[in-house]
Amino acid sequence: MPETTTAHPQTLAALAAEDGGTAGVPIELIGVSKRFGSADPVVDDLTMTVPAGEIVVLLGPSGCGKTTTMRMINRLIEPTSGRILIGGLDARAQQPDQLRRHIGYVIQQAGLFPHMTVAGNIAQVPLMLGWDRRRIARRVDELLELVGLDPAEYRDRYPRRLSGGQQQRVGVARALAADPPVLLMDEPFGALDPITRENLQEELLRLQGELSKTIVFVTHDVDEALRLGDRIAILGAGSRIVQFGTPEEILAEPADPSVEQFVGGGSSMKLLKLTRVRDVALDDAVRARPGDDVADLRRRLHEAARDWAVVLDEEERPLRWVGREDLAGGSGPVGVLPSAAGSRIDTVISGGSTLQEAVEALLNADREVVPVVGRHGRYVGAVTLATVRQAIQEVRQRRQPARHVRADGAGTAVPAASGGVPDTAALAGAAEAGAADEADAR
């Protein structure tokens, strides 16, 4: 778009056009307040920065002003005071309708227009931006693919002939239509059943991996917040920030007992959900090829003091487990052992899986070990219950010193110790521990 290439872009529209729209831009709320009539302010002097390309989840009790905060960003509600900068540009200096066309907005129940087809719904913003028909049609199909709906099947359907999950996918596609740098999502998955909800969460993370938008996401669901948020803002009454940090920080170092209770801080199950397989030290099984000699493998198992080996194909993909007992008495290549020997590998997990998923896989597998695969299904290591226990203990240890500091500080008058700000020394310690773990894993 040739409009404003010379000067600094003055509007989000110009900014979006300039860098192709794709990348996220930061959102800054500076001393923002909102008061409806004469009542207490619903949002009271909120200052917060949503970093570019991150998902920030607003989590807090009903009525604390999450929706109000979100609507002030796209100016559906005007702040009583304070400033909001999107990509460094003052939202108030821009024409609201223009501004909103470059801020994706997704609400609960999707809010699709029932009298328009799926394509018609998605096309609304491009129509307002004056795109030509062909460009719009192309974009609609592209977006449907992106959100996992077959364009040929779905583009001409009316919303009432879609499931709730499909409607929400279309809602996301509609919000992404003009490739906005910023996305506001107000409890988008709140009305969906747990399975659909998890699917869509997973899809959103995948999408975000491709698109790197700046996303503000409102939810009541702690698990959803922990799963999706790069950062979580826990809000209290008046949208006061009780704690703002990464899910790990919030779990490991809840700002106060109410947060701890709210997020179930430190509980093993939460940590399992939060920790990815790629972030823990993996076990490594003895590796074998179908062509390896049985006697030789037996010796290697003995030397490694292991009970089983993983058999890999030429592409390094895990085929099956063989144990010492399977090898006992056999001879010749491993590949010609009777098919009953060992167990075929049906379940593998990837580095992106959570430890919770790893535990599920372990519970369902007939060995107490599950292989981890990387690109192209290549074997990279294995997870056992011991691996998981070890990982959880390490996370626990990282938070231990921090807790002591806080307990000590509780009696003193130093606000930093009893307030939401974690002691710097404790933080540094935690960071060191984290770094050490990473080194171990490599």
Partner 1 sequence: MTLPEYIASRFDMLAFQAVQHASMVAQCLLVAAAVGVGLGILVHRDERATALATGATSVLFTIPSLAMLGLLIAPLGLGVAPSVTAIVLYALLPVLRNTIVGLNGVDPALVEAARGIGMSRSRVLLRVQLPLAWPVILTGLRVAAQLAMGIGAIAAFVSGPGLGDQIFSGLARIGAANALNATLVGTLGIVLMALLFDALFVLIGKLTTSRGIRSHA
Ligand X SMILES: Nc1ncnc2c1ncn2[C@@H]1O[C@H](COP(=O)(O)OP(=O)(O)OP(=O)(O)O)[C@@H](O)[C@H]1O
Closer by beta carbon to Mg ion, 229 or else 342: 229
DSSP-based three-state secondary structure for 297: helix
Least distance from Mg ion to the Cβ atom of residue 73, Å = 14
| Residue 280 CA: distances (Å) to CA of 265, 285, 382 | 20, 16, 11
Closer by beta carbon to partner 1, 124 or else 384: 124
Token pair for 277: 């397989």
Least distance from Mg ion to the Cβ atom of residue 318, Å = 46
Least distance from ligand X to the Cβ atom of residue 46, Å = 12
Closer by beta carbon to ligand X, 67 or else 214: 67
Residue with the two structure tokens 């129509």:
127
Task: Name the CA radius of gyration of the chain, rounded.
Answer: 26
Which of partner 1, Mg ion, ligand X, none is residue 42 near (CB under 5 to 8 Å by kind)?
A: ligand X
Interaction pattern, residues 29-68, with Mg ion; x per rule: CB under 5 A: --------------------------------------x-
Q: What φ, ψ does residue 236 adopt, rounded to 5°? A: -110, -165
For 310, the enclosing helix (H) or strand (E) is: strand 308-312
Task: Fill in the DSSP letter of residue 49.
Answer: E
Of 92-100, 370-378, 389-397, 425-433, the segment contacting partner 1 by CB under 8 A is 92-100
Query: What is the 3-class SS of 217-236, one letter each residue?
Result: EEECCHHHHHHHCCEEEEEC
Least distance from partner 1 to the Cβ atom of residue 26, Å = 21
Site residues, ligand X (CB under 6 A): 36, 42, 62-68
Closer by beta carbon to partner 1, 74 or else 239: 74
Q: Where are the alpha helices (DSSP H) in 110-188?
A: 118-128, 133-146, 151-154, 164-176
Closer by beta carbon to partner 1, 115 or else 442: 115
Closer by beta carbon to partner 1, 75 or else 197: 75
Report whether 192 contacts 159 (CB < 8 A): no
d(CA 3, CA 68): 33
Least distance from partner 1 to the Cβ atom of residue 177, Å = 8
Which of Mg ion, partner 1, ligand X, none is residue 415 near (CB under 5 to 8 Å by kind)?
A: none
d(CA 214, CA 70): 13
Closer by beta carbon to Mg ion, 189 or else 379: 189
Least distance from ligand X to the Cβ atom of residue 156, Å = 34
Least distance from partner 1 to the Cβ atom of residue 21, Å = 14
Which of positions 94-123 make contact with partner 1 (CB under 8 A)?
A: 97-102, 105, 107-109, 111-117
Closer by beta carbon to Mg ion, 67 or else 166: 67
Least distance from ligand X to the Cβ atom of residue 171, Å = 17
Which of positions 191-220 make contact with partner 1 (CB under 8 A)?
A: none
For 59, the enclosing helix (H) or strand (E) is: strand 55-59
Which of ligand X, Mg ion, partner 1, none is residue 291 near (CB under 5 to 8 Å by kind)?
A: none
d(CA 272, CA 276): 8
Amino acid at 38: S
Which of positions 132-171 make contact with partner 1 (CB under 8 A)?
A: 158-160
Least distance from partner 1 to the Cβ atom of residue 411, Å = 49
Sheet holding 43-50, edge to edge: 43-50, 27-34, 81-86, 89-90
360 CB-near residues (< 8 Å, 6+ apart): none
d(CA 309, CA 334): 11
Closer by beta carbon to partner 1, 180 or else 254: 180
Report whether 262 contacts 222 (CB < 8 A): yes
252 CB-near residues (< 8 Å, 6+ apart): 265, 266, 395, 398, 399, 402, 430
Which of ligand X, Mg ion, partner 1, none is residue 128 near (CB under 5 to 8 Å by kind)?
A: partner 1
Least distance from ligand X to the Cβ atom of residue 260, Å = 21
Which of Mg ion, ligand X, partner 1, none is residue 62 near (CB under 5 to 8 Å by kind)?
A: ligand X
d(CA 21, CA 178): 8
Q: Does 69 bind Mg ion (CB under 5 A)?
A: no
Closer by beta carbon to partner 1, 171 or else 381: 171
* Binding positions for partner 1, rule: CB under 8 A: 74, 76, 97-102, 105, 107-109, 111-117, 124-125, 128, 158-160, 174-175
* Binding positions for Mg ion, rule: CB under 5 A: 67
